[in-house]
Amino acid sequence: MEKRPAIFVDRDGTLNTEVDYLHRPEDVIITPGAARWIACLNKRNVPVIVITNQSGIGKGRFAWDDYYAVMKKIDEILAENDAHIDDVYVCPFHKEGKGEYKHPNHPNRKPNPGMILSAASKHHIDLELSWMIGDKQIDLEAGRNAGCRVALVKTGYGNGVTPKLADLVADNLGMAIETILSFSPHTK
């Protein structure tokens, strides 16, 4: 099977507005333009894969059921706009995690590239043609560590990140995807 590009997307602060330890579906708000531009990627058969650290699970602040309820709400909002996420990778491990989730530096926890590398293997992704989009330096580092180009969004914590760390800086996820589609022949 021929490898293809993908768009890897951070969740909190990038796909949806930042809420500290988001765990209630009623608090989900998709960032401006995100659903419309994800739908454009879907129509072009470009996989959209969420890559998210969820230390709140590992620290015992909320349960897996809460996480799944939030993801269900995100899926519902995207579906209303004819958009969908192709896959989600989540890392609950954290150095301050409890029990099995306590880990000093788990290979899946961003900035480590484990989740992106797993997704690339499963979905036959060409990482050199792919992008990681996020609002934190660890998102950009995870993308770089996996061999992707990286885009910084100014939503969430994005205004506190040095722009020169990114290949592209955009106001939000929708604008980042729009820009990527405008100059990347591999995603058209």
Tokens 């890392």 belong to residue:
91
Catalytic residue among 10, 66, 135, 139: 10
- How many Å apart are CA 116 and CA 109, to the nearest integer? 10
Which helix H or strand E contains 152, and what residues bound it? strand 149-153
Bridge partner residues of 151 (DSSP) = 133, 168
What's the full length of the chain, in residues? 188
- CA–CA distance, 106 with 90 (Å, rounded to integer): 12
| Residue 12 falls in the annotated catalytic set | yes
Given the residues 12, 66, 135, 139, select the one marked as catalytic.
12
* Burial per residue of 57-85, b for 16 or more beta-carbon CB atoms within 10 angstroms, e otherwise: bbbeebeeebbebbbebbeebbeeeebeb
Q: Is 171 a catalytic residue?
A: no
One DSSP character per residue, 88-131 reads EEEE--BTT--GGGB-SS-TTSTTS-HHHHHHHHHHTB-GGG-E
Give the catalytic positions in this structure: 10, 12
